[in-house]
């Protein structure tokens, strides 16, 4: 696992956007994995900027979203499909239908989850999966206790996640859905490159467990320690509890220019 510590989210966004730009240059029909929430927003701003500048095109790319709330009306602004439309899709040039998400409005969620798994496989799998991390160590919405081999499925959200996400619902806990559809940890682990971004002191404990703790379903993101190509990009505050922070900084500073993320 490579750990990159930068001053802030803008600096992290440049490094991640470089990796996406390089991927799309090599493979214009690449498959991206998209996260929602606040963590990837600086990355999406940077990608939108580069698209506007003519440096990057998503016209042949496809993408799969990590997760979705169950039960929010189709036009709810916090439905992840609408969030990703607002934060990224409306600003770049994905073809119509090129971006899919788990169907939180399906009448049969289990069948919808199986269909979603199949769609990812039929697309050839995800080349680069962008991830955030919850304060309780979840990735996508795989809450603590999730099987490390789990696949896309409906799952209840923990109280902590609903409390953390209440900020997107006018701080009204009752407005936060209790159920989600999420890619599983096994689904995420099948992506070829995992790129996790985390910012702020509030994430520092989850980041310490992710990078330096034992692999455990109690901190679901720790499964990434088993991935052959995982990159974790942090600001100083999120990195504050890492024991080997100096080593990660030295390794990044010494990284040869030819070596990619």
Q: Does residue 38 belong to the site contacting ligand F6R (CB under 6 A)?
A: yes
Q: Which is nearer to ligand F6R, 67 or 209 (CB)?
A: 67
**E strand spans, 96-229:** 99-100, 128-131, 153-156, 179-182, 193-198
Comparing CA positions, the residue from 129, 132, 147 lying closest to residue 210 is: 132
Q: Does residue 35 belong to the site contacting ligand F6R (CB under 6 A)?
A: yes
Identify the residue among 139, 157, 234, 261 touching ligand F6R (CB under 6 A): 139
Rounded CA-CA distance 142/192 in Å is 19
Q: Which is nearer to ligand F6R, 132 or 154 (CB)?
A: 132
Rounded CA-CA distance 214/105 in Å is 36
Identify the residue among 67, 103, 117, 143 touching ligand F6R (CB under 6 A): 67
**Least distance from ligand F6R to the Cβ atom of residue 214, Å:** 21
Rounded CA-CA distance 110/30 in Å is 27
Identify the residue among 132, 137, 177, 184 touching ligand F6R (CB under 6 A): 132
Q: Does residue 185 belong to the site contacting ligand F6R (CB under 6 A)?
A: no
Q: Does residue 46 belong to the site contacting ligand F6R (CB under 6 A)?
A: no
Torsion 87-93-106-125 (CA) sign: negative
Which residue's CB atom is positioned nearest to ligand F6R?
132
């Amino acid at each position: 696992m490579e750990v990159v510590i930068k001053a802030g989210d803008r600096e992290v966004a440049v490094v991640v956007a470089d990796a996406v730009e390089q991927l799309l240059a090599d493979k214009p029909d690449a498959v991206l994995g998209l996260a929602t929430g606040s963590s990837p927003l600086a990355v999406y701003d940077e990608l939108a900027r580069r698209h506007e500048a003519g440096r990057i095109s998503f016209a042949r790319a496809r993408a799969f979203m990590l997760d979705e709330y169950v039960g929010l009306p189709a036009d709810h602004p916090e439905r992840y499909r609408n969030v990703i439309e607002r934060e990224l899709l409306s600003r770049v040039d994905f073809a119509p239908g090129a971006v899919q998400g788990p169907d939180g409005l399906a009448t049969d969620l289990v069948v919808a989850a199986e269909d979603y798994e199949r769609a990812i496989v039929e697309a050839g799998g995800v080349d680069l999966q962008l991830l955030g991390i919850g304060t309780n160590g979840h990735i996508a919405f795989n809450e603590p206790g999730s099987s490390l081999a789990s696949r896309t499925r409906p799952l209840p959200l923990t109280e902590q996640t609903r409390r953390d996400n209440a900020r997107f619902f006018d701080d009204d806990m009752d407005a936060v859905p209790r159920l989600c559809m999420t890619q599983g940890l096994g689904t995420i682990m099948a992506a070829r490159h995992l790129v996790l971004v985390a910012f702020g002191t509030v994430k520092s404990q989850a980041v310490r467990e992710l990078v330096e703790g034992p692999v455990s379903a109690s901190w679901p993101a720790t499964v990434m320690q088993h991935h052959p190509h995982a990159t974790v990009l942090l600001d100083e505050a999120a990195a504050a509890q890492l024991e080997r922070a100096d080593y990660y900084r030295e390794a990044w500073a010494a990284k040869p220019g030819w070596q990619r993320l």
